Amino acid sequence: MDFQLFKNKFTKEEVRQLNPLVLAFIGDGVYEVFIRSYIIDRNRNMPVHKLHIKTISYVRAHEQSNFMNQLIELLNEEELLIYKRGRNAKSGTIPKNADVREYRNATGFEALIGYLYLIDNKERLEELLNRCVE
Protein backbone atom coordinates (compact mmCIF):
# COMPACT_ATOMS: atom_id res chain seq x y z
CA MET A 1 0.00 0.00 0.00
CA ASP A 2 1.40 3.43 -0.91
CA PHE A 3 1.21 6.01 1.89
CA GLN A 4 2.76 8.97 0.08
CA LEU A 5 -0.19 11.30 -0.17
CA PHE A 6 1.97 14.29 -1.07
CA LYS A 7 5.52 14.97 -2.16
CA ASN A 8 7.66 15.26 0.96
CA LYS A 9 9.05 18.77 1.34
CA PHE A 10 11.00 18.17 4.56
CA THR A 11 14.58 17.15 5.07
CA LYS A 12 15.29 14.45 7.65
CA GLU A 13 16.86 17.08 9.91
CA GLU A 14 13.79 19.32 9.63
CA VAL A 15 11.56 16.39 10.58
CA ARG A 16 13.76 15.58 13.59
CA GLN A 17 13.34 19.15 14.79
CA LEU A 18 9.54 19.13 14.65
CA ASN A 19 7.63 19.13 17.90
CA PRO A 20 6.84 15.47 18.72
CA LEU A 21 3.15 16.38 19.00
CA VAL A 22 3.28 17.61 15.38
CA LEU A 23 4.75 14.23 14.42
CA ALA A 24 1.95 12.52 16.37
CA PHE A 25 -0.63 14.74 14.62
CA ILE A 26 0.44 13.60 11.16
CA GLY A 27 1.10 10.05 12.39
CA ASP A 28 -2.46 9.81 13.69
CA GLY A 29 -3.79 10.65 10.23
CA VAL A 30 -1.44 8.27 8.41
CA TYR A 31 -2.28 5.44 10.80
CA GLU A 32 -6.02 6.02 10.47
CA VAL A 33 -5.86 5.98 6.66
CA PHE A 34 -3.82 2.78 6.80
CA ILE A 35 -6.31 1.09 9.16
CA ARG A 36 -9.37 2.25 7.19
CA SER A 37 -7.81 0.95 3.97
CA TYR A 38 -6.91 -2.34 5.64
CA ILE A 39 -10.43 -2.82 6.98
CA ILE A 40 -12.13 -1.89 3.70
CA ASP A 41 -9.84 -4.26 1.82
CA ARG A 42 -11.03 -7.15 3.98
CA ASN A 43 -14.67 -6.09 4.45
CA ARG A 44 -15.71 -4.49 1.17
CA ASN A 45 -19.46 -4.87 1.63
CA MET A 46 -19.68 -4.09 5.33
CA PRO A 47 -21.98 -1.20 6.32
CA VAL A 48 -20.15 2.04 7.11
CA HIS A 49 -21.16 2.01 10.79
CA LYS A 50 -19.60 -1.44 11.22
CA LEU A 51 -16.48 -0.28 9.36
CA HIS A 52 -16.26 2.62 11.81
CA ILE A 53 -16.63 0.34 14.84
CA LYS A 54 -13.95 -2.01 13.49
CA THR A 55 -11.65 0.98 12.86
CA ILE A 56 -12.06 2.22 16.42
CA SER A 57 -10.85 -1.13 17.72
CA TYR A 58 -7.47 -0.44 16.05
CA VAL A 59 -7.04 3.30 16.52
CA ARG A 60 -7.92 3.77 20.18
CA ALA A 61 -5.07 4.59 22.55
CA HIS A 62 -5.26 1.23 24.34
CA GLU A 63 -4.60 -0.70 21.12
CA GLN A 64 -1.92 1.67 19.88
CA SER A 65 -0.16 1.29 23.22
CA ASN A 66 -0.35 -2.50 22.89
CA PHE A 67 1.04 -2.32 19.35
CA MET A 68 3.89 -0.12 20.55
CA ASN A 69 4.74 -2.61 23.29
CA GLN A 70 5.05 -5.29 20.59
CA LEU A 71 7.09 -3.09 18.24
CA ILE A 72 9.51 -1.52 20.71
CA GLU A 73 12.02 -4.38 20.46
CA LEU A 74 12.20 -3.89 16.69
CA LEU A 75 13.07 -0.20 16.78
CA ASN A 76 16.49 1.14 15.95
CA GLU A 77 18.11 3.84 18.10
CA GLU A 78 16.72 6.75 16.06
CA GLU A 79 13.16 5.33 16.01
CA LEU A 80 13.30 4.67 19.75
CA LEU A 81 14.35 8.28 20.35
CA ILE A 82 11.41 9.59 18.29
CA TYR A 83 9.01 7.27 20.13
CA LYS A 84 10.29 8.43 23.52
CA ARG A 85 10.06 12.10 22.51
CA GLY A 86 6.42 11.54 21.53
CA ARG A 87 5.67 9.50 24.63
CA ASN A 88 7.16 12.14 26.93
CA ALA A 89 5.55 15.15 25.22
CA LYS A 90 3.02 17.01 27.35
CA SER A 91 -0.17 17.30 25.31
CA GLY A 92 -2.38 18.90 27.95
CA THR A 93 -5.33 16.57 27.38
CA ILE A 94 -6.03 12.91 27.92
CA PRO A 95 -9.04 11.18 26.39
CA LYS A 96 -11.60 9.84 28.83
CA ASN A 97 -11.28 6.30 27.40
CA ALA A 98 -7.55 5.86 28.09
CA ASP A 99 -5.25 6.00 31.07
CA VAL A 100 -2.26 8.33 31.07
CA ARG A 101 0.34 5.63 30.38
CA GLU A 102 -1.58 4.19 27.43
CA TYR A 103 -2.24 7.63 26.01
CA ARG A 104 1.43 8.59 26.18
CA ASN A 105 2.52 5.29 24.61
CA ALA A 106 -0.02 5.86 21.85
CA THR A 107 1.27 9.40 21.30
CA GLY A 108 4.80 7.99 20.99
CA PHE A 109 3.51 5.41 18.50
CA GLU A 110 1.82 8.13 16.43
CA ALA A 111 4.96 10.30 16.56
CA LEU A 112 7.01 7.38 15.21
CA ILE A 113 4.50 6.80 12.39
CA GLY A 114 4.52 10.52 11.56
CA TYR A 115 8.30 10.60 11.57
CA LEU A 116 8.65 7.64 9.23
CA TYR A 117 6.02 9.11 6.93
CA LEU A 118 7.63 12.56 6.78
CA ILE A 119 11.15 11.24 6.16
CA ASP A 120 9.64 9.13 3.38
CA ASN A 121 10.76 5.78 4.79
CA LYS A 122 7.86 3.87 3.23
CA GLU A 123 9.40 0.44 3.59
CA ARG A 124 9.92 0.77 7.33
CA LEU A 125 6.53 2.43 7.79
CA GLU A 126 4.78 -0.42 5.99
CA GLU A 127 6.78 -3.01 7.91
CA LEU A 128 5.71 -1.61 11.28
CA LEU A 129 2.11 -0.90 10.28
CA ASN A 130 1.67 -4.38 8.82
CA ARG A 131 2.88 -5.89 12.10
CA CYS A 132 0.05 -4.04 13.84
CA VAL A 133 -2.56 -5.86 11.78
CA GLU A 134 -0.98 -9.34 11.68
Which residue is catalytic, options 2, 28, 41, 99?
28
Active site residue 28: yes
Produce one character per residue of 73-111: b if its CB has 16 or more CB atoms within 10 Å, e if not.
eebeeebeebbbbbbebeeeeeeeebeeebbbbbbbbbb
Q: Which residues are catalytic?
A: 28
